[in-house]
């Protein structure tokens, strides 16, 4: 273990640091909270009722979003739960450094020594939003506004010309010539006798704005770490952007996260933009984060809702299609992230879900399963992830079966995930030292004995085995 974060708080803290939670990160990127290794099981929602706090604690969550709500922090601490706080956009010191530093100092002074606090979080999806805001303006709202104004012109000759210009704007965007498209769109505003409503919010300068923000957030991160060396900083990304872009931003955090919500695979919504649009894209994004931030812990933000829950204007037919994940899908996504190297899972979207719904009950059941496996999940890996050998099948198999061995006090456990969409038969090369050992997964109803150094089992499509030694 190395003390990645030292265990003291800045003197500006108003509460005695003796009561603050202490966090270090072990060499394998597992968190150690108050001296105990912990796989993170988190919830973005801040409960509104005491009964929900109790339910989260009973289910086995160990991290819940509190925000700057002292009452919520106290309720979490009373239940031996931990919390995180979002710093807000002022951690970007690129424009107003003095105000930003004062804001960070105030946060640390008020909350830094609270016994529930274990992490800070920077603004959500900051990198992606440099592009998304410009896209929503230039490719959506501006198009609609200009076409409406052009259609309302009394000068029909001018209207015809500007309508053609507007079509040309779209052609230029469609061929990757954003700067030319935006210049022509600005000229349309001028011809309409109006000022461009959002000057500077362009796709052509998105990288420039992102670079500025990255440097500003790095400065803010360094200031926050100076004020509070005891608590790591988390950065959550959208499931977008290149690994190089992600790496540039992740300098300003200690823990890297990504949200990915792939259920359902539908023509009406698509969260993953990888070639893999199925559940196993969760593992794909885990690998991308590892590549973007080598040596830093990776947490995955997983689906705690259905897309219909956050899209109230959809038709009843589409809402039915945009369903919530099943228990099997929730389990698969969790274990897919874990086997691929995640050291924490945090669920978003539960604020939109009824607490007496079947989905909520299934999510609590899945978390309880993972919490019961804390001694396994937080245990050191017994080796690198294993890509299993597969029996011949009819599929193309651009994904297969992957397994993660874990060293526990009860022996080596093996977490196995079939990322393919058909059933497979897999063989794990475990070596002669495991000869004759029997492994079982009572939930999946499978058992097998290591023979000639290998373990062979059938597994269903996009499903999980949690193999324990007998």
In SS3 terms, 161-177 reads as: HHHHHHHHHHHHHHCCC
CA distance 63 to 205: 37
Among 153, 175, 206, give the residue marking a domain's end. 206
Query: Which domain CATH number covers 461?
Result: 2.60.40.1180
Residues 22 and 64 in one domain: yes
Residues 341 and 419 in one domain: no
Instruction: Output the pTM of the full model.
Output: 0.94
* pLDDT digits 0-9 by tens, 200-259: 999 999 999 999 999 999 999 999 999 999 999 999 999 999 999 999 999 999 999 999
Look at residue 86 and tell me whether its pLDDT is greater than 60: yes
| 318 lies in some domain | yes
Residues 222 and 334 in one domain: yes
Beta strands in 218-288 (DSSP E): 233-237, 255-259
Whether the Cβ atoms of residue 41 and residue 60 lie closer than 8 Å to each other: yes
Mean pLDDT calculated for residue range 254-276: 94
Instruction: DSSP letter for 236, please.
Output: E
Residues 370 and 392 in one domain: no
Residues 39 and 77 in one domain: yes
Among 332, 359, 377, give the residue marking a domain's end. 377
Residues 191 and 255 in one domain: no
Which of the four pLDDT bands, split at 50, 70 and 90, describes residue 136? very high
C-alpha of 52 from chain center: 23
Write the burial class of residue 235 (CB in 10 Å: 0-12 exposed, 13-18 middle, 19+ buried).
Answer: buried
Q: Looking at the 3D structure of the chain, how many domains does it have? A: 3
Residues 256 and 400 in one domain: no
CA distance 290 to 342: 9
CA distance 217 to 99: 14
Among 335, 350, 377, give the residue marking a domain's end. 377
Residues 236 and 95 in one domain: yes
| 2 lies in some domain | no
Look at residue 385 and tell me whether its pLDDT is greater than 80: yes
Mean pLDDT calculated for residue range 362-367: 98
What's the Cα-to-Cα distance from 454 to each of 127, 425, 426, 459, rounded to whole Å?
Answer: 45, 13, 10, 16
Mean pLDDT calculated for residue range 11-19: 39
User: Strand 389-390 vs strand 424-429: parallel, antiparallel, or unpaired?
Assistant: antiparallel
Residues 322 and 256 in one domain: yes
Which of the four pLDDT bands, split at 50, 70 and 90, describes residue 267? confident
CA distance 295 to 217: 20
| Neighbour-count burial for 168-204, b at 16+ CB within 10 Å, e otherwise | ebeebbeeeebebbbebbbebbeebeeebeeeebbbe
Among the residues of 79-138, which ranges form H helices?
A: 97-111, 126-136
* pLDDT digits 0-9 by tens, 431-450: 999 999 999 999 999 999 99
| 363 lies in some domain | yes
Query: Which domain CATH number covers 122?
Result: 3.20.20.80
Which of the four pLDDT bands, split at 50, 70 and 90, describes residue 266? confident
Whether the Cβ atoms of residue 287 and residue 340 lie closer than 8 Å to each other: yes
Whether the Cβ atoms of residue 233 and residue 120 lie closer than 8 Å to each other: yes
Name the residue range of residue 137's domain.
128-206
């Amino acid at each position: 273990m190395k003390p990645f974060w030292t265990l003291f708080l800045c003197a500006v803290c108003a509460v005695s640091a003796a009561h603050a939670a202490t966090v270090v990160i072990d060499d394998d990127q597992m968190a150690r909270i108050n001296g105990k290794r912990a796989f993170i099981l988190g919830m973005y929602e801040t409960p509104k009722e005491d009964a929900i706090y109790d339910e989260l604690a009973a289910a086995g969550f160990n991290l819940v979003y509190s925000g700057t709500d002292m009452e919520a922090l106290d309720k979490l601490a009373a239940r031996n739960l931990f919390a995180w706080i979002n710093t807000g956009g002022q951690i970007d010191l690129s424009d107003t450094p003095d105000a930003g530093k004062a804001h960070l100092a105030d946060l640390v002074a008020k909350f830094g020594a609270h016994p529930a606090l274990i992490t800070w979080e920077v603004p959500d999806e900051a990198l992606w939003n440099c592009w998304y805001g410009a896209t929503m303006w230039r490719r959506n709202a501006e198009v609609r506004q200009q076409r409406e104004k052009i259609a309302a012109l009394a000068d029909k000759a001018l209207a015809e010309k500007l309508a053609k210009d507007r079509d040309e704007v779209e052609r230029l965007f469609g061929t990757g010539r954003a700067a030319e498209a935006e210049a022509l769109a600005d000229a349309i505003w001028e011809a309409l006798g109006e000022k461009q409503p959002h000057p500077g919010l362009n796709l052509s300068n998105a990288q420039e704005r992102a670079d500025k923000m990255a440097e500003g957030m790095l400065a803010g991160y360094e200031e926050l770490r100076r004020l509070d060396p005891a608590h790591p900083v988390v950065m959550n990304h959208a499931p977008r952007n290149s690994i190089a872009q992600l790496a540039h931003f992740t300098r300003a955090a200690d823990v890297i996260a990504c949200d990915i919500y792939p259920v359902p695979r539908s023509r009406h919504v698509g969260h993953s933009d990888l070639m893999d649009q199925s559940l196993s894209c969760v593992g794909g994004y885990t690998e991308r984060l590892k590549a973007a931030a080598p040596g830093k812990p990776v947490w995955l933000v997983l689906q705690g809702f259905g897309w219909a829950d956050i899209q109230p204007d959809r038709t009843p037919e589409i809402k039915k299609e945009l369903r919530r994940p099943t228990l099997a899908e929730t389990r698969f996504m969790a274990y897919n992230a874990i086997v691929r190297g995640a050291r924490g899972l945090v669920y978003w979207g539960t604020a939109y879900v009824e607490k007496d719904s079947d989905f909520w009950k299934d999510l609590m059941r899945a978390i309880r399963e993972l919490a019961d496996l804390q001694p396994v999940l937080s245990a050191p890996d017994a080796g690198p992830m294993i890509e299993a050998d597969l029996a011949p099948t009819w599929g193309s198999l651009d994904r297969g079966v992957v397994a993660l061995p874990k060293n526990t006090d009860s022996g080596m456990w093996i977490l196995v995930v079939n990322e393919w969409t058909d059933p497979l038969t897999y063989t794990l090369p475990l070596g002669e030292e495991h000869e004759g050992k029997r492994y079982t997964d009572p939930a999946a109803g499978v058992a097998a004995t290591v023979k000639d150094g290998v373990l062979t089992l059938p597994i269903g499509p996009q499903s999980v085995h949690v193999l324990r030694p007998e």
